[in-house]
Amino acid sequence: MRVAALYDVHGNLPALEAVLAEVPGDAVILVGGDVAMGPLPSDTLERLRGVRDRVHWLRGNADRELMPGEEGLAPPDALDWAREQLSEEQIDFLHGLPERVELDIDGLGRVLFCHASPRNDVDIFLEDTPEEQVAPLFAYLEAGTVVCGHTHMQFSRLIAGTHVVNAGSIGMPYEDEPGAYWALLGPGAEHRRTEYDATALVGIETPIRYFSDDRPSKAEVTEFFGTLAVGA
């Protein structure tokens, strides 16, 4: 089995369409959470649901937090806006997704997919977060590889003997180059970047800063996330 890991789509349908066009025909798709909270929440979710039996799903923090009463990290105004675009059935679907998925992948064996960390959907760690701060998150796992997202930045590193791959973000990447970022697994773990036409989102007003002219840079986000990293 090969797996295309598509994380943090965040309602960016043009980016998703471009990536789906590049996913190999023999690969299944792992949707890594935070699907809807973005410019086109309903259309993006339904596009992925239309792929049907080719998709494995897991839940991200922004999916969970769409359900009123859930606590987390997503901005309240962005959540309120996304809720207005989604039906109760769609919100229930996202809230009911599993937190973790394990798959056997060619060349890698058992791989654990989670949104933020094996512990929960909100842990933050970066490529340079000290090993001693993040090692407890990956101790005693049976899977030799863990794939995550959440911080919207691609990286690959060894933590507590576990190969940890951040797939990046399809719809809201915090990277220096524009595009949609994802990962293809099997037989190795390959980071991918897909170019797309972002002009299709022009005119869609959301309260999410990323989709405005005041988009934060990778350096700004990295500095901010560093203050929130586990063990910091």
Measured N-to-C along each axis, helices 41-49 and 76-85 cross at an angle, to the nearest 10 degrees, of: 60
Answer yes or no: are the C-beta atoms of 24 and 51 closer than 8 Å.
no
Q: pLDDT tens-digit profile of 68-105?
A: 999 999 999 999 999 999 999 999 999 999 999 999 99
Cα-atom radius of gyration of the chain, to the nearest Å?
A: 16
Closest to 144 in 3D by CA, of 121, 105, 110: 110
- In the chain, where are the structural domains located? 2-228
Q: Outline where 7-147 has alpha helix (H).
A: 13-20, 41-49, 61-64, 76-85, 88-95, 131-138
Record: fold of 2-228:
Purple Acid Phosphatase; chain A, domain 2 (3.60.21)
Buried b or exposed e, range 21-46, using 16+ CB within 10 angstroms: eebeeebbbbbbbbbbbbbbbeebbe
What pTM did the predictor assign? 0.97
Q: Provide the pLDDT confidence category of residue 231 given band limits of 50, 70 and 90.
A: confident
Cβ atoms of residues 167 and 9 within 8 Å: no
Which pair of tokens denotes residue 201? 């989102």
pLDDT digits (tens, 9 = 90+) for 131-188: 999 999 998 899 999 999 999 999 999 999 999 999 999 999 999 999 999 999 999 9
Helix (H, G, I), strand (E, B) or coil at 15: helix
- Pairwise CA distance, residues 192 & 202, whole Å: 25
How large is the angle between the packed helices 41-49 and 13-20, nearest 10 degrees?
Answer: 20
